[in-house]
Every structure is written in structure tokens, then in C-alpha cells.
Amino acid sequence: EDGYDLWLRHEKVRDGGNLARHAAAVVAPGRSATALAARDELMRGLAGANGAAPALVEKPMNGAIWLATPASAPDLPVKLDGLGEEGYAIRSVTLDGQSVTVIAANGDAGLLYGAYAYLRLAETGASLDRLDIRSAPRMKLRLLNHWDNLDGTVERGYAGQSIWDWWRLPDWKGPRYTDYARANASIGINGTVLNNVNARSDSLTAPYIAKAAALADVFRPYGIKVYLSVKWTAPMELSGLRTADPLDPAVAAWWKAKAAEIYRAIPDFGGFLVKANSEGQPGPQDYKRTHADGANMLAAAVKPHGGIVMWRAFVYAHDNPDDRAKQAYSDFKPLDGQFADNVLVQVKNGAIDFQPREPFHPLFGAMPRTPLMMEFQITKEYLGQSTHLTYLGPLFEETLKSDTFARGKGSTVARVIDGSLEGHKLTGIAGVANIGADRDWSGSIFNQADWYAFGRLAWDPDLSAEAIAREWAAQTFSTDAKVVDPIVAMMMGSREAAVDYMTPLGLSHVMGTGHHYGPAPWISELARPEWNPVYYHKADAQGIGFDRTKTGSNAIAQYAPPVAKMLADPKKTPERDLLWFHHVGWDAKLKSGDTLWNGLIRHYDAGVAYVAAMRRTWDGLRPHVDAERFAQTQAFLGIQHREAKWWRDASIAYFQTLSKRPMPPGTAAPEHDLNWYKSLAFPYAPGNP
């Protein structure tokens, strides 16, 4: 057991015959590739979970599961209105005296999702006696963004090389592509952007379009569309155009022709993702045009084919002296209402960059006339990468539940992106994938949970991170409460622990240059101010933190008035975000009664202690977890423990040179002096562009 099967292990359930009673047979009349995939996944899952393959029968009978759409079964005993093409219903019914479980949907993709949902229920110990479930995705686009390069490396990838074997595509379509599609479909993901947002034009050449088309062919039966990241200057690089000005007719014509070429090879191609005028990438602003001009030009090219454009809002300029946290809002808010109707603006969860904790991005709620797409980072660039166990479910949940107050109380980020707040039909969410060619896909067994949680929340942003962890642990390890309970407990506090040992109380971006691995809060001499950790923490002899109130950058004014008002006052600001919004004196009092300095150290200590506790919990699970997965996790927790301590000690060693405050009683001084921490180097850190 090396983790390859992810949460689709389909171990035999110990449920007292619950499943055996209800899943002795399968009726699956559909003949489309997707209907067949639904049937095969159900059969495969049941064979494992039930310990014996069910019979495949022609007609519903006692103890059968019936996969049905209105097309295959006109007199379906289940109502499907409101479920769309992807939703499903699962119902226990009695037909001519026989108990049958119907998995029904309007479209075949719904059958596939329903089949996986049924397996999930069975494998997490739900009663299967009187099912009456209706479920439809809240978001239309549920996408992975791969930051995979054409040379096989993965930017911010910690699970080995890219799984896309561009070199041998399109001829060789290895079995892993199908397993990738199965895993994604099982959690409702319905699209994938194949290449890095830091794109190369090559991916738009004929050979690479053919390679993308081959992948699209593998994914199609699983309801997954492919998308491509594009480089803004592709018309210049590939065809010698003299400009990439979006208002130049030759440029627009080039993209129209390119889109038509792609759609000839991939008729259901999803569309384009664009990183423009961001971190050195070219874009429409190079021609004095706006992001909307650029997005709309591309949108017009894919529109006749039903495609969409996802335009990223991750921008900050080297010559802009304003607070980096304000820049995306300043650029994009004025463009609200100017985007074509097949454009989404893709916004990271927070205003800086995937930090262990960020307050929600102020653009959420601020662009009512534009569909905003959420971008989460599943790969843990800033959260311990492959070795630290830091379950991201709580981070995702925290952002989705944050209240923007854009239309009064209850205007959560989830309601902004699912379109319900402003009545948008085109909606979406993206996760930067943590997938690579490692056998375990994600660089560690526990990182698989982040991929899983992303998919589940993309389907239903109201699910709780804890319920998701429970499902994942039951399917990944065992349904035994002796296993699930401690694992879920470990997972649930793990992200907060990372916040504690890395960036407590609202600190951010104090990671080492480039690789972002480990602490380096002392860095101050990089060319651009906002590349330096000192820019973010602003520690000095008086205190620490970034003043984003009126006396500082006034970034808080980008939030709706009730939020801005709360954030204006350090006493009302949630303590977890305190230093994000305020520069606070070292001796200021925290809610605990501690001074800020002492409180910081208590947070660092709590983070380290949590990791020590996770190690003990995991050691206790040895009898219940298979050897290879046990050993990997045990070793990684050892790394995490050592590094949590490193984070704590290095941070304290540095901040103490400014605070000049003593260690609080009962706490240990850093193990080494500051120079020792400064001298550490990581020349071959993975994932570093």
C-alpha cells in the first residue's frame, strides 16, 4: 500500500451486511462513455467494499442499484428538476415489491457523481436503508490548475515531476491519466488547466494541441474538460506579429484562428486561463490597455465555441509603491461591469499570496457585476510543502465562510463565488494542484486530503472541513473509529499549528527567498521591496505588524464598511489577523492578558507542541495502519517537528534583536544564535522556478 489508490481503495466495509443487502446487483442501461464509466466505477467500488462483485442485471430487482437517466428509463420514480446536468438523486424505492436503490440524474455525468456518492456513503458507514438524497454542484467550474511546465517540472510542485508526459503524448496515453480522471471525478472536479500560468507559447502550437487533445479524450468520459494557460505574447512568438495589443485587429484575428484550431482538435475545450501583467508576464497593460480589454478580446475568440476565459487578478507592480495587498483591488475594482459575459476574474483567497493565514481578498464582494472565481492553492507552497501535515480543509472553510458584508450580513465569500449573491450563472473555483508523478500523487499521504477537500468544497462550499476529513480518513485508512477519530483530530488542528509556528497573529510572508521553505524574517535586501519579509512584518524597536488602517496603507478601506470599521480598531480585529492590519507595540496586551511579545512566543510554542502531539498520536496508530504509509507519515512528522522548532527558534532569534524583550518565564531560548539560522541554504529546494 503506497498511497497510489488515494481515497479510492475500496476496502471491504465492516457494516454488518448493510451494503451486501442493498448492492447485490447493478442495473446500468446507459451506453455512453460516461454512463459506462459510472457503471464500471460502481462495479469496481462495490466489488471492493462488498468483498464480491455484484451481478450486472437487465432489470431492477430486489437489492439492486439502478443507474438511470430519463433517457434510459422514461418512467423514473425520482424527481430530477433543479439538479441540472451534473446533479444526482439517490433514493431507496420499492418497485413491484422489490427494494431498489435508484441513482438517477438528468445527464450521464450526474450518474457518475451519484455512483461515487453512493460508494462514499457505503464506505463511511452511512445507513443505506432509506436513502433520499439530492445533490447538485454549487459551482459550475470546479477546476484544478496545474502549474506544470512543458519540460516536466512543476512550479511549486512537491510530488515529483509532472504527470503529463508531453514527450510521448499524443501516442502514449498511460493508464495514470485514467486514474487521474477517476480520482477527480470521484470528488466532482470537472476541469483541468494543463499547464503553468507562467505559460510558454509552445503549448499553443499544433503538436501540443494534439497532445492536449489526447488527454482530453481520456478525461472526457469522466466529465472533465481541458483548459490551457496562455502566454499573452503568443501571436508574436509563434507567428511573428509585431504586437500583442488586444485592440489590434490582427491580434484578435490570430486568437480567433487559434481558438478555432483548438476546437477542431478538442470540440469541448474549456477555455483559457491568463496570468497577465503579473510577475514579469506580458499583458495588455504593456499596450496601455486594461485587463478587461485583454480578457474580452480572448473571450470573443472562444465565445463562438462556448469557451470561457479565466483572467487572474494576481497582480502587483514593481513600480507601484502602494501596499501590495491593495494592488489587485485597485486595478480590478474599476473594471467591474466591463468584462464580457464569458469571462471570470480569478482571485486568490487572500490579497498577498497563499499564506498560512490571510484575511479574505477584498475583491470578494467588491465586483458585483463580474463573476469572481476563487483560486486556492492545494499545493502547500507556504505550508510545509510535502512533509508538514497541515490539512487545508480549515483554511478553505475559513475563507468560504468569511462574511464580506457586501450585501449585508451573510454575504459570505461562498455566496459571492457560487453566484447566489449577485445572480451569476457562470461560477467557478480553482485549486492549484498538488499532483505529481510520485506514487502517492501528492508528495505525502496526508496531502491527498487537501486535493480531496478542495473537490468536495467545490461541489458544496457549505460542507465542513471536519466532515470532509472524516470521509477522507474513512476511505483512505479505515472506517474504524479508533483510526478515524484520532486522525481527524490531528488533521483539524494541524493548519492552526502551522500558523502558530510559522506566522502567528497575522504575520505573513516571512519565508526564505525563492523556495519559500523555512523562516527568513530578516531578509531585507532584495531588489523589490515587496519581495522582502521585512516589508511584511515591519518589526522595529516599538513593535511589529503592517499598519493597514488610516494611519498606514488604509487597505482596510477596500472592505465593505462594517468590515472596515471592525478592522480599524485593533481591539475589534480578530486576533488571528492582528498583525496583518496593525502595527502593535511589543508590550500591548492580548486577549489572554499576555503582552504581544510573550503571546507571540506562546503561539510559536503551541505550534511546536501540537506537532509533538501529532507524532504521539500517529505512533499510537501503528497497529492500525499499513506499514509503508505508516512509516512515511511517521518520518514526515519527525521532519515537521524538527522544522517547527526551527521556525520558532529562528523567528524568535531574529525578532528578539528588535524587541529586546526577555524570553517569558518557562520558555526555552532558541537553540542557536541568529547567524546560524541565517547561514542555512537550500540550493536545490523542489518546486522553485
Q: Does 689 bind ligand BDP (CB under 6 A)?
A: yes
| d(C-alpha 428, C-alpha 308), whole Å | 11
Nearest-CB residue for ligand BDP: 353
Q: 78 or 197: whose CB is closer to ligand BDP?
A: 197
| d(C-alpha 2, C-alpha 605), whole Å | 33
| d(C-alpha 689, C-alpha 686), whole Å | 9
Residues 546/474, Cβ–Cβ less than 8 Å: no
Q: Does 272 bind ligand BDP (CB under 6 A)?
A: no
Size of the site for ligand BDP (CB under 6 A): 11
Q: 197 or 224: whose CB is closer to ligand BDP?
A: 197
What DSSP character marks residue 65? E
Q: 392 or 556: whose CB is closer to ligand BDP?
A: 392
Active-site residue flag, 381: yes
The catalytic position among 41, 108, 155, 353 is 353
Q: Does 197 bind ligand BDP (CB under 6 A)?
A: yes
The catalytic position among 381, 450, 496, 643 is 381
Q: Does 381 bind ligand BDP (CB under 6 A)?
A: yes
CB of 507 to ligand BDP, least distance (A): 17
In this structure, what are the phi and psi dihedrals at residue 348, rounded to the nearest 5 degrees? -65, 160
408: helix, strand or coil: strand
Q: Does 513 bind ligand BDP (CB under 6 A)?
A: no
Q: What distance lies between CA 411 and its chain's CA centroid?
A: 21
CB of 581 to ligand BDP, least distance (A): 22
CB of 281 to ligand BDP, least distance (A): 8
| d(C-alpha 298, C-alpha 248), whole Å | 12
224: helix, strand or coil: coil
CB of 517 to ligand BDP, least distance (A): 12
CB of 516 to ligand BDP, least distance (A): 6
Q: 198 or 634: whose CB is closer to ligand BDP?
A: 198
Phi-psi region of 10 (alpha: psi -120 to 50; beta: other; left: phi over 0): left
CB of 142 to ligand BDP, least distance (A): 19
Q: 339 or 382: whose CB is closer to ligand BDP?
A: 382
Question: Residue 92 forms beta bridges with which residues?
Answer: 101
Peptide bond into 235 cis (omega under 30): no
Residues 198/689, Cβ–Cβ less than 8 Å: yes
Q: Does 275 bind ligand BDP (CB under 6 A)?
A: yes
Active-site residue flag, 577: no
The one-letter amino acid code at 23 reads: A
Return the residue of 354, 517, 646, 655 that touches ligand BDP, per CB under 6 A. Answer: 354
Q: 379 or 475: whose CB is closer to ligand BDP?
A: 379
Return the residue of 92, 198, 201, 554 that touches ligand BDP, per CB under 6 A. Answer: 198
567: helix, strand or coil: helix
CB of 381 to ligand BDP, least distance (A): 6
| d(C-alpha 2, C-alpha 633), whole Å | 11
Q: For every residue of 138-185, which 3-state class applies, written as one string?
A: CCCEEEEECCECCCCCECCCCCCCCCCCCCCCCCCCCHHHHHHHHHHH
Return the residue of 156, 388, 415, 424 that touches ligand BDP, per CB under 6 A. Answer: 156
| d(C-alpha 396, C-alpha 104), whole Å | 30
| d(C-alpha 95, C-alpha 109), whole Å | 25
Q: Does 353 bind ligand BDP (CB under 6 A)?
A: yes
Residues 349/375, Cβ–Cβ less than 8 Å: yes
Q: 156 or 537: whose CB is closer to ligand BDP?
A: 156
- Take residue 196 and report the three cell numbers written for it: 503553468
The catalytic position among 279, 341, 462, 673 is 279
Q: Does 231 bind ligand BDP (CB under 6 A)?
A: no
Q: Would you give the binding string for ligand BDP spanning residues 533-572, x where CB under 6 A is met?
A: ----------------------------------------
CB of 353 to ligand BDP, least distance (A): 5
| d(C-alpha 194, C-alpha 203), whole Å | 9
| d(C-alpha 475, C-alpha 478), whole Å | 6
Active-site residue flag, 261: no
Positions 295 through 324 that interact with ligand BDP (CB under 6 A) = 314
Return the residue of 155, 450, 530, 547 that touches ligand BDP, per CB under 6 A. Answer: 155
| d(C-alpha 326, C-alpha 366), whole Å | 13
Cα dihedral 320/325/328/330 (nearest 10): -70
Q: 116 or 314: whose CB is closer to ligand BDP?
A: 314
Q: 83 or 325: whose CB is closer to ligand BDP?
A: 325
Report the interface residues with ligand BDP, using CB under 6 A: 155-156, 197-198, 275, 279, 314, 353-354, 381, 689
Catalytic residue annotation: 279, 353, 381
